[in-house]
Structure 1
Amino acid sequence: MDLSFAASLFPYSVWDCWWLAPLALLLDLWLGDPALPWPHPVCFAGRLLSRLEDPARRWMRHGGPANEKWRGRLAGLACLLLLTGVTGLTVWLLCCLPVLGLLAVVYLAWAGLAMGSLLETGGEVLREVETRPEVQARKALSRLVSRDTSRMDRPLLRKTLADTLSENFTDALLAPLFWLLLAGPVGLWMYKAVSTTDSMWGYLTPRWRWLGWAGARGDDCLALIPARLSVAVLWLTDALVRRLRPAARLWDGRWPGFHTVARQAAGMPSPNSGWSMTACAWLCRARMAGPSVYFGELVDKPRLGPPEDEAAPWDKARLLALCALMRHSAACGGLLLWLVCLVPGLLR
């Protein structure tokens, strides 16, 4: 099979450019998302999607309430395809620029990963939760989560922060890195366009139920493999740290087995969010998920992690241990995934 055409559409995959993914990972974990003179690329995707909302809603409502479901889904799908196509084409053109193209490639690969900024933001929110009055702590956490924080006490704020950090292990790192390895910056940013649509529109509320359907289902499909890989990455990182650097193992939980993780994760409403959450909950010996309020509606989620009599409450030390687990897993797991993808290409 001739892959030259695919390689021209998706340049700088791991087989075309072996050094790009580890460099992007290093820059992300080292520098995070530093302040630059221009907005982050994901902001442009968000702005375009916001501009598409009004015409999409007008078309959705044109046929009356009886047709809103199928017209809304179709309008959302059209917006998703347009955003993904424009994003992919823009990134491809930037990658093909003479001289500056290589700089654009490095920056776009780096900017597409978000583990460094996630951990930095999580650390800032943790400081607010631990040191500020509850009103200010709730406000700080609300900038990071979509659930209602207005009535949360401090223990629940800590647990919600743990939920969010662990859930985003796939979205911030594994999924974008997976698509960067397979399809270069073009594939990475086409995935980010779908993920942005899901983040902005993918809610089961009256406002977004139909327009956000395509974005939510698209993100579910594109993150399906990375979400399950996240479990293997967390398990392998724990095993490596336990053997090679036991003093760095700040988390004190145990590995329950892949069957237990899969069984608990399958009970979550989202097909992907529960995998990394369940693994982190067991390794940190604390429980996650449970009933939560989103946009005024109670969503009944199962409890993830060890049984209540084995679990410890989330406190500052346990949240710092979770951040350490995620940072180690990002470095170890990211490099191992890179090697797994690189070796078959080199042996062709």
Structure 2
Amino acid sequence: MDNSTVVFFVPVIAFVLDYLLGDPLWFPHPVRFLGKMIESYEAWARSTKLSPKIMGGVAVLGFAIIIWGVVKLLVSIPFIGVLIALYLAYSGLALGCLLKDCHKVAKLLDDGNFENARAELAKLVSRDISELDENEMRKVLAETASENLNDAFVAPFFFLVVTGPAGMWVYKTVSTMDSMWGYKTEEYRDFGFFAAKTDDVLAFIPARITAMIMMGAGRILGLNWRAAWDNVLKDAAKTESPNAGWPMSSAAWLLGATMGGKAVYFGEAKEKPVLGPEGELWSSLKIKRLLRLICFSGLICAVLLYIYFSIVWML
């Protein structure tokens, strides 16, 4: 088997490894290293007293160019380049980790272990959940699980099959910047402006692919796909983000439960738009069905994008 044939199988091997292994704590994950680099840049950029918006833009462009070049160089190394490509492809996906973390929170809620559930859920979201009751925690879990199907899996896998590991890690870099800087607080409103906008652009197509695949998977699983089909476009337009509303509203209508409402970020209350049928709670059964939907949607996405990759490869 020659080198090009091995590269052909990198996306599917990466998907299997991600699903089976997730992100073990001992694993030297590139995002952790990337996060430290971004933190160091921010400290230096703020010390320069230059325009925060300009320095944030320089970071997005500079990091994207550097990451693209470094990854391209690494994967081109004879013999070990394929192993590096596989490592980067696997570590850039997070469906397995998402499902594992969400199942853990769901089980703690089912067992009535609300304080531990709250502690685990807090690791997955940026909002304040200290005052949430059981039903509200289930809703937050549903929101973050559905939104992250795109952010943690569909979008990076999309860029992996379309552009290779280099493009995937440019996306992951921008996404990491957005998760660290993309807040409309006084501290980050300007500094994170370009990171947030670039992330919106890069995730635009994957978010819509995610919603369509979720509806298709929902139909196969016997969920309310007609309600989703009739309402997703309307509900997705309600959200502040041009992308988050697509997978979230798909999940809300497919499972027949409400997302949105009051949320607290950094001590500030915010009223988020209501997605899905109003007043319907996220029961334990609906959460289980949602996680099954996310798992099945991820599998369908991987198959369809890999078919696309295979066709392009053969042209």
For normalisation by structure 2, the TM-score amounts to 0.93
Which of 64, 69, 76 pairs up with 1:96? 76
Q: The residue matched to 2:238 in structure 1 has which SS?
A: coil
* Largest Rg, 1 or 2: 1
Residue 186 (structure 1) aligns with: 166
Residue 208 (structure 1) aligns with: 188
Q: By how many angstroms is 1:329 displaced?
A: 0.5
Residue 334 (structure 1) aligns with: 302
Does 2:28 correspond to 1:39?
yes
> Structure 1 residues 18 and 235 mapped into 2: Cα distance closer, same or farther (>3 Å)?
farther
CA contact (8 A) 1:146 1:294 kept: yes
- How do residues 55-204 of structure 1 correspond to structure 2 at under 5 angstroms? 55-59=44-48, 61=49, 71-131=51-111, 133-204=113-184
> Structure 1 residues 88 and 344 mapped into 2: Cα distance closer, same or farther (>3 Å)?
closer
Residue 220 (structure 1) aligns with: 200
Q: Deviations over 1:290-309 (max 9, x none)?
A: 2211111122211111243x
Q: Deviations over 1:6-65 (max 9, x none)?
A: xxxxx98xx9943222222122112212344x5201111101000011121123x45xxx
CA contact (8 A) 1:195 1:219 kept: yes
Residue 271 (structure 1) aligns with: 242
CA contact (8 A) 1:234 1:333 kept: no
Which whole-Å CA distance do the structure 2 matches of 1:24 and 1:189 have between them? 14
Which whole-Å CA distance do the structure 2 matches of 1:130 and 1:204 have between them? 34
- How do residues 307-318 of structure 1 correspond to structure 2 at under 5 angstroms? 307-308=278-279, 311=280, 313-318=281-286
Which whole-Å CA distance do the structure 2 matches of 1:55 and 1:42 have between them? 20
Q: Deviations over 1:173-212 (max 9, x none)?
A: 1110110011100110011000000011111111111111
Q: Deviations over 1:276-303 (max 9, x none)?
A: 0011111111111222111111222111
Q: By how many angstroms is 1:168 displaced?
A: 0.6
Q: AA paired with 2:33?
A: F
Which whole-Å CA distance do the structure 2 matches of 1:344 and 1:86 have between them? 27
Q: Which runs of 4+ in 1 moved over 4 A?
A: none
Q: By how many angstroms is 1:89 displaced?
A: 2.4
Which whole-Å CA distance do the structure 2 matches of 1:256 and 1:340 have between them? 29
Q: The residue matched to 1:188 in structure 2 has which SS?
A: helix
Q: Deviations over 1:203-252 (max 9, x none)?
A: 1111111111111011000000000111111122223444xxxxxxxxx4
Q: AA paired with 1:41?
A: P
> Structure 1 residues 130 and 239 mapped into 2: Cα distance closer, same or farther (>3 Å)?
closer
Q: By how many angstroms is 1:109 displaced?
A: 0.7
For normalisation by structure 1, the TM-score amounts to 0.84
Q: The residue matched to 1:28 in structure 2 has which SS?
A: helix
> Structure 1 residues 345 and 259 mapped into 2: Cα distance closer, same or farther (>3 Å)?
farther
Can you give the 5+ residue segments of structure 2 that lack an aligned partner in the other structure? none
Q: The residue matched to 2:269 in structure 1 has which SS?
A: strand
Can you give the 5+ residue segments of structure 1 that lack an aligned partner in the other structure? 1-10, 63-70, 243-251
Residue 8 (structure 2) aligns with: 18
> Structure 1 residues 341 and 266 mapped into 2: Cα distance closer, same or farther (>3 Å)?
farther
Which of 19, 22, 34 pairs up with 1:29? 19
Residue 290 (structure 2) aligns with: 322
Which of 40, 61, 67 pairs up with 1:51? 40
CA contact (8 A) 1:254 1:285 kept: no
Which whole-Å CA distance do the structure 2 matches of 1:16 and 1:225 have between them? 28
CA contact (8 A) 2:7 2:82 kept: no
> Structure 1 residues 185 and 153 mapped into 2: Cα distance closer, same or farther (>3 Å)?
same
Q: The residue matched to 2:264 in structure 1 has which SS?
A: strand
CA contact (8 A) 2:224 2:253 kept: yes
